[in-house]
Structure formats: C-alpha cells, structure tokens
Structure 1
C-alpha cells in the first residue's frame, strides 16, 4: 500500500509578503510551507530605489538569480552589479545588502541552504530592519 505524497506545490499569491527588511519577499518553499528539511527559497521584488537591509546568514549560503531589473549588491562592503540572467552566490557569513538601481521593478529568485539549527538563528541583521517583527516566521514552525 502506498500513501499519497504531501502537497509540495505553492503558488506565489498564496504566500504573505514579508516587508520587514525591505521589498516584497515571499518565502514559498520552506519547512513551514512544504515540510522541506534542507533549505528554503522564494522570490524578492524591489521597486526602483527600494532595498533589502544589510544582513548575514551564519549557517546558510544564499543563491540569487535575477529574473529582471538592475541591482547592486554589496558583499562585505564590496559592490557587485547584477542584471537579468545573472546569478550570484552569497557565502556563509558574508554581510550583504541589495538595492534596485534601475528604472524598473526587479524580480529575484533566491534559495538558502543548509537550514540553521533553529529559524531564529538563520538571519542576523547588521542594519536596522525597516519594520518591526521577530525572527523569520516564514521559514520555521509547523506546516
């Protein structure tokens, strides 16, 4: 006898926007949303001039792929220009801040892996977040 696999499909519109650190961040695939155990990912949308505040991930690498737009990311204070089709690895522990430097909205797909031991350990703010809110509620906790 076989059992049906749990649903692992998530539509972007079914996920709440997290604007705590800037932009429209939507974590679509995570332990909370689909029960995954090795990482999490989603999308980021930044309007012109919008940014994601500086932070680092002490346990995870972050993989970024720019779908559209023009961006600048600083990696430990070193700027890198990104455009549509560019992918970038942010190594574990590297401070980074992402800014839309172009005239149009930018769309990014991201993935972080491996997971931190607990969700509240996975993200360290090195710049004051734009909105108040605790640890990243989008990643951990039960489905």
Structure 2
C-alpha cells in the first residue's frame, strides 16, 4: 500500500492571482497537494473590488463568505452573501462577485470536478476595467 502524503498549505505563501480582479489564491490543487477531484482557495476583495464575470464549463463552484459581504450575480440573479452564507454556482453558469460593502470581504471557494486540462477550466466573459491581464493561476500539474 502506498503511503498518503498530507500537506499543509498556508494561503499567505501562495502567490495572489489578480487576473479576474481581487486577490485569489489557489491553495489546494493538483499542483500544491496532488488533488485529483477539484481545487480551492481564498478570495479577498476590498470595497469596490470585484471578480470579473466568467463561467466554468466543467465544474461547480462552491463559495462561502467568512468576513464582509459580496454581491454575487449568478446568471441573471443577484444575491447578497454575508458571513456564514454559502452558494453553489452550477456548471456553465456565468457569475461575478463584487464587494459593495465598506469592509474587506474574505471568502473560501472550491471547484469540482477538475476540467480535463487547467486552461479549459475558466471562460472569461468580462475583462478587468484597467485592461490588465495576468497569467492564469497554476492549478495543474502532476496528479
């Protein structure tokens, strides 16, 4: 029998990805812990900040608010999430998240199942207002 390796990952040690806005950190993934069924991490949004609209053609996304509040647009619905609230975004549904509050918002997210290849996992339908584009977060790697 093969020994299972358990790894603790500290979110502060994972580089922030701001490709879609906000501070997104993919903490648990195929690359960081050899995950085989999904990936997850944290999102931090300061007041006025948002994550651009996008969708996941292969994955459901689970979002849980830890601190602050965010307005989620899921399809045509707008839903305010506050601490302790959670939401699931179905596969293929466009969604966007914005901090319209006055304090920093902190969320935890998880996506599952994995796309066949990391570059197929997100489809952007909106770009950042500053026009900046960063590379996609590295969630792939050996499984």
TM over 0.5: yes
* 1:31 aligns to 2:34 (yes or no): no
**74-83 or 85-94, larger mean C-alpha shift:** 74-83
* 4+ residue segments displaced more than 4 Å: none
Q: Give 1:142 shift.
A: 4.1
Q: TM (normalized to structure 2)?
A: 0.92
Query: 2:138 aligns to what?
Result: 138
Matched residues in 1 for 2:133 and 2:50: separation? 16
Aligned length, in residue pairs: 141
Post-superposition shift, 1:123?
0.3
Deviations 1:44-82 (A, max 9, x none): 000001000000000000000000111101011321111
With 71-80 and 113-122 compared, the bigger mean Cα shift is at 71-80
**C-alpha distance in structure 2 between counterparts of 1:29 and 1:131, whole Å:** 26
Residue ranges of structure 1 left out of the alignment (5+ in a row): none
Gaps of 5+ in 2: none
In 2, the alpha carbon distance for the partners of 1:133 and 1:100 equals 21
Q: Contact between 1:31 and 1:37, CA under 8 Å: does it hold in 2?
A: yes
